[in-house]
């Protein structure tokens, strides 16, 4: 099971769900009732997200190829759109509040 660390090595997400195939990316969090606080979904490749048909709010970090944070959208509610900045290659989706410690420019690392 992989996890995601932030700059100083502190654990940001204890369990990562990878959405890397086309069907997995298209489905992502749709149909789920919630996303546990310690869990995040890394969608790659991914340039933007939407909250259509979602049932709960999330936080989202838009990341470049090196997993550097380009933008953080907090408390995205169902039916909202989140536009990605230029250079976005993947998106980390988490429960609301998890990305409160993340800022633009931070570097994330995926570790086994």
Nearest alpha-carbon partner for 83 in 73, 75, 92, 93: 73
Nearest alpha-carbon partner for 30 in 52, 15, 49: 52
Q: What's the confidence (pLDDT) of residue 62?
A: 97
Nearest alpha-carbon partner for 14 in 110, 89, 81: 110
| Tens of pLDDT, residues 18-75 | 988 877 766 766 667 788 888 999 999 988 888 888 889 999 999 999 999 999 999 9
Topology, domain 3-103: Jelly Rolls (2.60.120)
**pTM for the full model?**
0.91
Residues in the chain: 112
- Tokens 């489905």 belong to residue: 27
Sorted by where each begins, the domain ranges of the chain are 3-103
Q: Where are the alpha helices (DSSP H) in 1-112?
A: 22-27
Band of the pLDDT at 106, cuts 50, 70, 90?
very high
């Amino acid at each position: 099971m992989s996890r995601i660390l932030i700059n100083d090595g502190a654990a940001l997400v204890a369990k990562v769900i990878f959405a890397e195939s086309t069907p997995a990316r298209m489905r992502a969090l749709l149909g789920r009732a919630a996303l546990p606080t310690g869990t995040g979904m890394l969608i790659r490749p991914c340039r933007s997200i939407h909250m259509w048909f979602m049932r709960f709010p999330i936080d989202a970090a838009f990341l470049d190829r090196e997993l550097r944070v380009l933008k953080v959208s907090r408390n995205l509610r169902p039916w909202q759109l989140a536009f990605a900045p230029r250079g976005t290659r993947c998106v980390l989706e988490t429960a609301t509040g998890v990305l409160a410690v993340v800022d633009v420019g931070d570097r994330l690392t995926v570790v086994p």
